[in-house]
Homo-oligomer: A and B are copies of this chain.
Amino acid sequence: MKRNVYLDMISLEEAQNRLEDLYGTRRTQTETLLSCEAAGRVLAEPIFARTSSPGYHAAAMDGIAVKASATYGASEGSPLALTSGQDAFPVNTGHRLPEGCDAVIMIEAVNPITEGVFEIDTPAYPFQYVRKMGEDMVATELLFSTEHTLTPYCIGALITAGVHEVCVYKRPSVLIIPTGSELVTLEGPNATQPEPGRIFESNSHMLAAMVESHGGRAIKHPIIRDDLDAISACVKKAAEKEAVDAILLIGGSSAGSEDYARRVAEACGNLLFHGITIMPGKPVLAAQVNETPLFGMPGYPVSAIVAFEQCVAPLIASLAGRQLTQRPLAHVTLSRNITSRLGLEEFMRVKLGRVGENLIATPIAGGSGTLTSITEADGIIRVPPHVEGLATSDPVRCELLRPASLLDRTLVAVGSHDNTLDLIADAIVRKSGKTRLISSHVGSMGGIMALKRGVSHLAGIHLLDETDGSYNQSYVERYLPGKKLTLINLVMRQQGLIVAKGNPLGLSGIEDLTKKGVRFINRQGGSGTRILLDYKLKELGIEGKSIDGYTRDEYTHMSVAVAVLSGTADAGLGIYAAAKALDLDFIPVVTEQYDLLMESDILETPMGNELMATLDDKGFKMRVEALGGYSTEKTGTIIRRFVP
């Protein structure tokens, strides 16, 4: 197995400095655009006004234009009469002052006497209500410096100044080359799952959109298979013959046997660095090929994103003569302690919601291959390389990926997982257009604890009281005494065994889980489903250790169903909807009560109202019923208000 090695990995700062040193003062070629089409572009020349604005003394008010000196002496006791066309000239705002006039009397101060005759009782002073010639711009004066970014406002100024076209830097062109024999192109709307081992090539489209959103121009190359010569030839040609400002080679930037990026870089040009101490994004590579910067981008999408934003985006901005747009920062509180790897700067994706005074950050699970860890993120926390983690008590700064106003209208749900929470999230945003619901899945007991710590608004819970078969209320009394809370029913739902299509092992209930050859997949401790299982096992007199897989656990119903679908387990306890979604079989075990436990104060807010309206919505209930395994008879019913 042949193997490349990383050069000594370098820090992000060092990598950025190397790029800055090489390319910091380089700019793209220039082009001439019509002024009205140049918004967002950066000037490659200083712009001087060609005409003055105003180009003449202009009325700054609607009224009559006069010669100021002719009005001296007018007073309340002895008003002065003026005749239209003779010593008074009606003008509107913006009109040129008639010859001989040097002041405007506003219409409210003019008293019409007869047709064409006005009276005034206050004199005008010279240049009263007059916009003087050149007040805004004077011909030949500098309007904008070189490297000025043209805003829409500037477009107005350019045309006012008689500047018809401007010389600007071209948008940096970036050639994007996806490589990898496993890649297939997604073609047409009826695509099915690609054959095993193959994946849809998505990185080039994502990186192209990122290039464009940073003001560059993306050129997408078709997929190249893992073939050193083909990739090298493509890179060489682009660097030599095509006028591109940068090349992104996606995939093969790591150190595996088919990771060609480094060999391509060394064959075609000079390696600048290979490997940065960041996570995700570590295996990024930079080289210079015939003066053109070449980047080897990691194939894992979140790695590619971080590598792009840290290394490529600053270059695109700089080539265009622009400042890199920084994301706004906010102070946040972590909802739980997190660990991180010493020696690597981690870009941790989090969900954010405002609970009381605090922005609560909940880390999102998933590695650099988990794209949803960043599409669902509201923010990114950079964990420095010299720490092993962050605690809930640490002051933490977070880059915001969404407008702060959105975070203020966010219901933060931390608790048990149920598919209907996704439906609420969709329905509530549809209904209100503003409020959203984010949910983190830590099980029912985790949800109770999050409410206790004040880092959430509500929790989905389905906690069976083994003493009387009731749900939830006794847990709230025990764990959350003295809090103002409201318990609302979300659904009644069927829990049962999720098994492979056709139930090949012929399982009929919990009691069959101890059979030889049956591999079980469990839910995590503290989840309602786990408690339910343990309750049922106790009823049946079965011990957990007699079940193969009792100690392997997953955090959601869908993960359990996926384990069954993928054949790593034969059965798991979960909800019908999860089995149905993946076309698996389902053996009903029990109908349980799934409630929302909510801060009573939040119920009084617009967010709370919208949540209750959503629960009450017929369409929403129909969509829940359509999932199967749910009853919505009690949905939205307030079960109990807990008052201190």
Shortest Cβ gap from A6 to chain B (Å) = 12
Counting contact residues on chain A (CB < 8 A from B), the size range is 35 or more
Chain B residues contacting A208 (CB-CB under 8 Å) are: 36
Chain B residues contacting A509 (CB-CB under 8 Å) are: none
- In the complex, the answer to whether A152 meets B210 with C-beta atoms within 8 Å is yes
- Kindly identify which residue among B51, B56, B96, B189 contacts A200, using a CB–CB cutoff of 8 Å: B51
- In the complex, the answer to whether B405 meets A154 with C-beta atoms within 8 Å is no
- Kindly identify which residue among B25, B62, B426 contacts A46, using a CB–CB cutoff of 8 Å: B426
Is A259 interfacial (CB 8 A cutoff)? yes
Give A375 to B137 CA distance when docked, in angstroms.
12
- In the complex, the answer to whether B405 meets A326 with C-beta atoms within 8 Å is yes
Q: Which of A36, A186, A403, A404 neighbours the largest number of chain B CB atoms within 10 Å of its CB?
A: A186
- Kindly identify which residue among B55, B156, B257, B582 contacts A194, using a CB–CB cutoff of 8 Å: B55
Given A134-B562, A153-B375, A159-B202, do A182 and B581 touch, yes or no (CB 8 Å)? Answer: no
- Kindly identify which residue among B256, B374, B422 contacts A92, using a CB–CB cutoff of 8 Å: B256
Q: Mark A362-392, 1 if CB is under 8 A from B, else 0.
A: 0000110111101100000000000000000
Give A305 to B160 CA distance when docked, in angstroms.
15
Give A402 to B372 CA distance when docked, in angstroms.
32
A318 nearest CB neighbor, chain B only: B433
- Kindly identify which residue among B96, B148, B207, B375 contacts A144, using a CB–CB cutoff of 8 Å: B375
- In the complex, the answer to whether A151 meets B367 with C-beta atoms within 8 Å is no
Is A1 interfacial (CB 8 A cutoff)? yes
Shortest Cβ gap from A497 to chain B (Å) = 19
Give A582 to B48 CA distance when docked, in angstroms.
13
Is A199 interfacial (CB 8 A cutoff)? yes
Given A156-B301, A157-B371, do A568 and B102 touch, yes or no (CB 8 Å)? Answer: yes
Chain B residues contacting A159 (CB-CB under 8 Å) are: 186, 200-202, 205-206
- In the complex, the answer to whether A199 meets B53 with C-beta atoms within 8 Å is yes
A180 nearest CB neighbor, chain B only: B94
Is A558 interfacial (CB 8 A cutoff)? yes
- In the complex, the answer to whether A433 meets B24 with C-beta atoms within 8 Å is yes
Chain B residues contacting A147 (CB-CB under 8 Å) are: 429-430, 433
- In the complex, the answer to whether A25 meets B433 with C-beta atoms within 8 Å is yes
Give A482 to B203 CA distance when docked, in angstroms.
61
- Kindly identify which residue among B141, B323, B566 contacts A581, using a CB–CB cutoff of 8 Å: B141
Is A145 interfacial (CB 8 A cutoff)? yes
- In the complex, the answer to whether B375 meets A134 with C-beta atoms within 8 Å is no
Contacts of A67-107 to chain B: CB distance below 8 A: 90, 92-96, 102, 107
A220 nearest CB neighbor, chain B only: B36
Is A467 interfacial (CB 8 A cutoff)? no
- In the complex, the answer to whether B107 meets A1 with C-beta atoms within 8 Å is yes
Chain B residues contacting A403 (CB-CB under 8 Å) are: 323-326
Chain B residues contacting A507 (CB-CB under 8 Å) are: none
Shortest Cβ gap from A548 to chain B (Å) = 12
Shortest Cβ gap from A456 to chain B (Å) = 20
Q: How many copies does the complex hold?
A: 2
Give A374 to B154 CA distance when docked, in angstroms.
9
Give A494 to B566 CA distance when docked, in angstroms.
86
Interface window among A125-133, A227-235, A600-608, A610-618: A125-133
Is A290 interfacial (CB 8 A cutoff)? no
- Kindly identify which residue among B199, B301, B562 contacts A132, using a CB–CB cutoff of 8 Å: B562
Shortest Cβ gap from A493 to chain B (Å) = 17
A193 nearest CB neighbor, chain B only: B51
A401 nearest CB neighbor, chain B only: B151
Is A395 interfacial (CB 8 A cutoff)? no
Give A159 to B202 CA distance when docked, in angstroms.
5
Is A197 interfacial (CB 8 A cutoff)? yes
Give A478 to B85 CA distance when docked, in angstroms.
58
- In the complex, the answer to whether A52 meets B193 with C-beta atoms within 8 Å is yes
Is A112 interfacial (CB 8 A cutoff)? yes
Give A35 to B126 CA distance when docked, in angstroms.
63
Give A258 to B152 CA distance when docked, in angstroms.
28
Chain B residues contacting A375 (CB-CB under 8 Å) are: 143-144, 151, 153-154, 156-157
Chain B residues contacting A213 (CB-CB under 8 Å) are: 39-40, 152
Shortest Cβ gap from A309 to chain B (Å) = 10
Q: Which of A193, A207, A259, A405 neighbours the largest number of chain B CB atoms within 10 Å of its CB?
A: A193
Given A153-B206, A155-B205, A193-B55, do A62 and B255 touch, yes or no (CB 8 Å)? Answer: yes
Q: Mark A167-182, 1 if CB is under 8 A from B, else 0.
A: 0000000000000101
Q: Which of A137, A162, A203 neighbours the largest number of chain B CB atoms within 10 Å of its CB?
A: A162
11 contacts between A and B (CB under 8 A): A62-B257, A93-B254, A94-B369, A132-B566, A139-B193, A145-B425, A147-B429, A148-B429, A155-B206, A323-B405, A326-B405
Besides the known contacts A50-B193, A132-B568, A136-B369, 12 further A-B residue pairs in the complex with CB atoms under 8 A apart = A40-B213, A51-B194, A53-B199, A53-B371, A54-B199, A62-B256, A136-B366, A139-B581, A153-B371, A155-B206, A156-B205, A159-B206
